[in-house]
């Protein structure tokens, strides 16, 4: 029997709205972000998906997103596993800076390299490759075993930590994953077989 994996990027955060590099900084959701999280719950309900295992990061915006989804689904008294392994990519010296200000300071080309290359980290921060190096072992060792047992697992996390998982699940190259955008609050749903291989990507 296939298990189900639901990946949800947190709803819009206060710093998404302000066009700031966020990383491991800890802003909360905007009103729009709250609405996005609740809308995700409605999509899951409409698709007949009832998650029963829950993971999130150590950051408020992802935790709040998960709490809102659970509230909207009427799911109470559950165990939620929180881990820094699911945190957003650490943007180092860029964290807290407006993206336009960063371009003025370092130049548009350099900032683009930091944002869109697979293995070049910003000063004091992580590349997507570095993020994958902490996220993927956690996915494979802790999250995937539940899915392989046929559970419906919900992971509320961040654009780059989830990208790392998408890359592994869909067998994408570094170039392909860099082109993949994960919208705030939008669920990505996979059916995964007992062997841990992707059976299908489910549109909801």
**Catalytic amino acids?**
10, 88
Tokens coding 124: 């004091």
Of 33, 88, 30, 91, whose CA–CA distance to 57 is shortest? 88
CB atoms inside a 10 Å sphere around CB 24: 18
Beta bridge partner(s), residue 155: 7, 55
- CA 32 vs. chain centroid, Å, equals 17
Cβ neighbours of residue 182 under 8 Å, at least 6 residues apart?
7, 9, 159, 162, 163, 166, 188
Cβ atoms of 91 and 161 within 8 Å: the answer is no
Q: Where does residue 197 rank: exposed (0-12), middle (13-18), buried (19+ CB within 10 A)?
A: exposed
């Amino acid at each position: 029997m296939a298990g189900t994996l639901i990946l949800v990027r947190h709803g819009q955060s206060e710093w998404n709205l302000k066009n700031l590099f966020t990383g491991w900084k800890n802003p909360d959701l905007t009103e729009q972000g709250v609405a996005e999280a609740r809308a995700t719950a409605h999509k899951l309900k409409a698709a007949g998906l009832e998650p029963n295992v829950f993971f999130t990061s150590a950051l408020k915006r992802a935790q709040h997103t998960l709490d809102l989804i659970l509230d909207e689904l009427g799911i109470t008294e559950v165990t939620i596993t929180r881990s820094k392994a699911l945190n957003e990519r650490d943007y180092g010296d860029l964290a807290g800076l407006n993206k336009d200000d960063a371009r003025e300071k370092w130049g548009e080309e350099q900032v683009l390299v930091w944002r869109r290359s697979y293995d070049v980290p910003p000063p004091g921060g992580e590349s997507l490759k570095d993020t994958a190096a902490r996220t993927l072992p956690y996915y494979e060792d802790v999250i995937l075993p539940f899915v392989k047992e046929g559970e419906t697992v919900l992971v509320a996390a961040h654009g780059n930590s989830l990208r790392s998982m998408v890359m592994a699940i869909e067998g994408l190259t570094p170039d392909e994953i860099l082109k993949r955008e994960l919208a705030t609050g939008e669920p990505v749903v996979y059916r995964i077989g007992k062997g841990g291989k992707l059976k299908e990507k489910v549109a909801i």
